[in-house]
Structure formats: C-alpha cells, structure tokens
C-alpha cells in the first residue's frame, strides 16, 4: 500500500481497509498510526541487518564483490519509500527513535559487513592485512549515500572500488 499510495495515502482507516479488518483494531495493538509505522520500519531494519549478518555463512562462495553488492542492494526496494515516509511525517521520526532507540543502527550493519570480510579473510579471499572494520564503515556510508541519492546503478562499481583495497580486484568465484 505504501508503494502504491505513497506516504500521503496512509491513514489508519486506509491501512485497516487494505488489511480487511475493523478500523478500531489498529488501536487495539498500537497507540496511534505513528507507532504502527515505527514498528513497521523497525521490522524492515531488523530484516536488513539479519540479511547482512547472514553474509558470513556465504564466505567462500560466489565472489566477495558479488556477495557485498547483493547484500548492499537488498534494502533498496523499500528504502526510498520508507525514507519518504519518515520525511513526510515529522512525528514519525520522533516516534521511531522512541520505539527503536538504538536497537538497530548503522553500526549493526558495519559489524555485520566486517564479520563477513573477516570470514573471507579466513577463506583467503580477502588480503590478510585488510582493515575489515574500516572498510565496512566505508561500505555502509557508500550504500547509505547511494540509496539516499537514488544511484543504485553505481553500487557494484563502488563495491568493486572498495574491494580493491581488500585485495580482491581479480577474484574468482568460490
């Protein structure tokens, strides 16, 4: 519904109508629409972090650049919609901070990407001296910037450029 209607089309009534439930049911579970939306965003953020955390189980398979690019672009489909939703509802930004706090953050993504890069070091596919934590910060920053500016077509090029400092510019699929 958010994709179809955009942020301006969201209301408690529209959401419950779409779900096929009574309008008041929303308020049996959430204090208001912003709480529902904050929990929705929280759920999407946790799913993305979990997706990146699962990268470590893929070490030694595919290519490092391919794995990083896939993980980095996984959140793209919903990111712009959610970003526009938060921007359009100033009260939602405050509620999101209250509901989520620091439970899910960009730091979680940095840690997950660094864990994957460390696992690839163990596989010999990332140079032993590569600074995985620093490179994961650069990757998260780049991903965030590309998503915010709508330039997803640059993702693989940026990941490839960053991967050069990992010693994987001429990698072969595992």
Query: What is the separation of C-alpha 16 from the centre of its chain, rounded to a whole number of angstroms?
Result: 27
Alpha-carbon distance values, 128 to 44, 71, 93, 123, 138 (Å) = 34, 22, 41, 10, 18
Q: Residue-wise pLDDT tens for the chain (174 aa)?
A: 887 888 888 888 999 999 999 988 888 989 888 988 988 888 888 888 899 999 999 999 999 999 999 998 887 777 777 888 888 888 888 888 777 666 667 788 899 999 999 999 999 999 999 999 999 999 989 988 888 888 888 999 999 998 887 777 555 666
Query: What is the separation of C-alpha 105 from the centre of its chain, rounded to a whole number of angstroms?
Result: 10
Tokens of 18: 């779409």
Query: pTM value?
Result: 0.80
Residues 58 and 161: their CA atoms lie apart, in Å, by 21
DSSP code of residue 62: S
């Amino acid at each position: 519904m958010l994709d179809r209607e955009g942020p301006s089309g969201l209301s408690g009534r529209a959401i419950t109508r779409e779900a096929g439930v009574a309008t008041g049911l929303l308020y049996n579970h959430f204090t208001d629409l912003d709480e529902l939306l904050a929990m929705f965003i929280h759920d999407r953020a946790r799913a993305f972090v979990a997706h990146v955390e699962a990268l470590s189980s893929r070490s030694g398979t595919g290519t490092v650049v391919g794995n990083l690019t896939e993980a980095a672009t996984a959140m793209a489909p919903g990111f712009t919609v959610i970003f526009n939703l938060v921007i359009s509802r100033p009260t939602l930004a405050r509620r999101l901070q209250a509901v989520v706090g620091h439970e899910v953050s960009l730091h979680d993504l940095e840690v997950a990407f660094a864990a994957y890069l460390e696992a690839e070091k163990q596989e010999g596919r990332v140079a032993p001296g590569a600074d995985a934590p620093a490179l994961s910060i650069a990757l998260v920053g780049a991903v965030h910037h590309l998503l915010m500016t709508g330039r997803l077509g640059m993702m693989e090029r940026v990941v490839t450029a960053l991967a050069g400092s990992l010693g994987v510019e001429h990698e072969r699929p595992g």
